[in-house]
Structure 1
């Protein structure tokens, strides 16, 4: 995707729009790739046939549905359980057993940028399969309130379960409609969801595992570096960062990480 985008709308109006997002919604998009943000915002301006970012801001202020649509358009909340299954299998067979060797009473795990919940629930399923769900704490965070509400409900269409075999579906889901499945309560109860802006909020410490996949692709290089440094500081010594399949950290040594496998980095 090209880094340059020529918008048909006014540049100064866009700058004011970004400032007003901070004022009215406490949403700071300064660390995001602006060609992506602006292109996706322009799609919504055209959809509602408004002539300026100021007019579109009025729509956001008046209608919560428009606000959630805007957030959804920015983040493209498309995900599924066990996305890139071979990576989750490696996590299950190698990474988590290795973390357990530290003999900590409880593993502290974080899904950063959890979207609608498929990722942290995938992690919870793995912990149940390994028999250590009661010795683990999973935190999941996102800045999109709409996505978090969906995650807490835990209801998914069949397409989201494409990587799951029938045994896992029977064991961990209840079919509630023809194309709707609800994650069972004993999995839901393993995950604590909270709202967070990864670039600007403070992180908890002492994590054994941080999963942040298909999130930093939206950030510019300066924001990426800031985020990787924050992740490093949030991990316990020996803790692992698991990133997405298009998000390899090329200068991982500069942050203090060791690469232990493709897309897995140890503090």
Structure 2
């Protein structure tokens, strides 16, 4: 991903002129001053929303502190200057900002809406294969949940399921399909028996890949041009782009995602996420406010729409 750190060049260069930008490159431990206040300043500089990070900030702050120590930076000002001067450090910085918290069948009301309305609609109206994109899939719980649900519904149509994430390590974990018990707390006992093997006394669970439709895994950052696999009949855009980005980055990336959705296709978001203002006719499901349909109005859904 190409990251532009100097968004407001005159202001930022004036700031650099007032600070000591040098990081300590010796081997002695560096005392890092980085708490909530400094984190908010960093987010403001990166044009990222505090509201999105607030509840998960402790882990992100710990990762950023470690990165600052590795670079020998004791202040957020030194850290930002170092990132601007050394492009090779930006990828590690971006990894520090990623949040990959998830679990299987997160937000049960969403999965009920997909089971009862969205997926039957796709199967009825679109020719096979049914193309679904899990965008920003983290460690894979979401695309695996979709594949399990598809298998439960026993549709004869072929499912073409693409799962992408910016993190290479996340995708490697997803391909392996190994999870802790906490990731399965929304999975019923029956589905756990059908789709998982257990190990370590029931503390670890492994996906039974032969029981579900195949998933195509690909590394992709949502700020980059989209994968050339569309248009998609459904896109799962949940607890990622709409939570941790704002401003132009969000607007441009969201417009690209929606442009990859077939007319009449479905978009699913996180339970507490709001769509950015746009000129797109996304019609919210009457029973599940995090599921939208693009374009044609259906009697099952209300006329409330984004932007």
Same fold (TM over 0.5): yes
Which of 206, 210, 219 is 1:186 aligned to? Answer: 210
Which of 212, 219, 238 is 1:195 aligned to? Answer: 219
Matched, 1:169 2:192: yes
Distance 1:92 1:31 in 2: 38
1:266 alignment partner in structure 2: 293
Residue segments in structure 2 that go unaligned for 5+ positions in a row? 1-14, 22-44, 295-307
Matched, 1:213 2:228: no
Q: Are the aligned partners of 2:251 and 2:276 in contact in 1 as well (CA < 8 Å)? A: no
TM-score normalised per structure 2: 0.68
What is the CA-CA distance between 1:125 and the residue it aligns to? Answer: 0.5
Q: Are the aligned partners of 1:120 and 1:140 in contact in 2 as well (CA < 8 Å)? A: yes
Which of 257, 261, 264 is 2:282 aligned to? Answer: 257
Residues 169-194 of structure 1: CA distance to partner in whole angstroms, max 9, x if unpaired?
00000112231100011256521100
Number of aligned residue pairs: give it.
Answer: 238
The structure-2 alpha-carbon separation of the partners of 1:33 and 1:40, relative to structure 1 and needing over 3 Å to count, comes to farther
Which of 84, 89, 92 is 2:115 aligned to? Answer: 92
What does 1:117-136 align with in structure 2 at a 5 Å threshold? 117-132=140-155, 135-136=158-159
What is the CA-CA distance between 1:40 and the residue it aligns to? Answer: 6.6
Secondary structure of 2:104's partner? coil
2:33 alignment partner in structure 1: none
The structure-2 alpha-carbon separation of the partners of 1:164 and 1:72, relative to structure 1 and needing over 3 Å to count, comes to farther
Distance 2:65 2:248 in 1: 26
What is the CA-CA distance between 1:266 and the residue it aligns to? Answer: 1.4
Distance 2:211 2:194 in 1: 10
Matched, 1:245 2:260: no
Which of 166, 183, 193 is 1:160 aligned to? Answer: 183
Secondary structure of 2:125's partner? coil
The structure-2 alpha-carbon separation of the partners of 1:210 and 1:103, relative to structure 1 and needing over 3 Å to count, comes to closer
Q: Are the aligned partners of 1:110 and 1:207 in contact in 2 as well (CA < 8 Å)? A: yes
TM-score normalised per structure 1: 0.77
What does 1:26-41 align with in structure 2 at a 5 Å threshold? 33=48
Q: Are the aligned partners of 1:157 and 1:181 in contact in 2 as well (CA < 8 Å)? A: yes
Residue segments in structure 1 that go unaligned for 5+ positions in a row? 1-10, 16-29
Which of 222, 235, 238 is 2:261 aligned to? Answer: 235
1:78 alignment partner in structure 2: 101
What is the CA-CA distance between 1:138 and the residue it aligns to? Answer: 0.4
Residues 48-70 of structure 1: CA distance to partner in whole angstroms, max 9, x if unpaired?
482243778999969xxxx77x5
Distance 1:247 1:100 in 2: 27
RMSD: 3.4
Larger mean CA deviation between 123-132 and 97-106 belongs to 97-106
What is the CA-CA distance between 1:147 and the residue it aligns to? Answer: 0.4
Distance 2:97 2:104 in 1: 21
Distance 1:250 1:189 in 2: 33
1:102 alignment partner in structure 2: 125
- The structure with the larger Rg is 2
Higher helix share: 1
Q: Are the aligned partners of 1:212 and 1:243 in contact in 2 as well (CA < 8 Å)? A: yes
Distance 2:100 2:108 in 1: 19
Q: Are the aligned partners of 1:31 and 1:199 in contact in 2 as well (CA < 8 Å)? A: no
Q: Are the aligned partners of 2:139 and 2:170 in contact in 1 as well (CA < 8 Å)? A: yes
Distance 2:156 2:105 in 1: 17
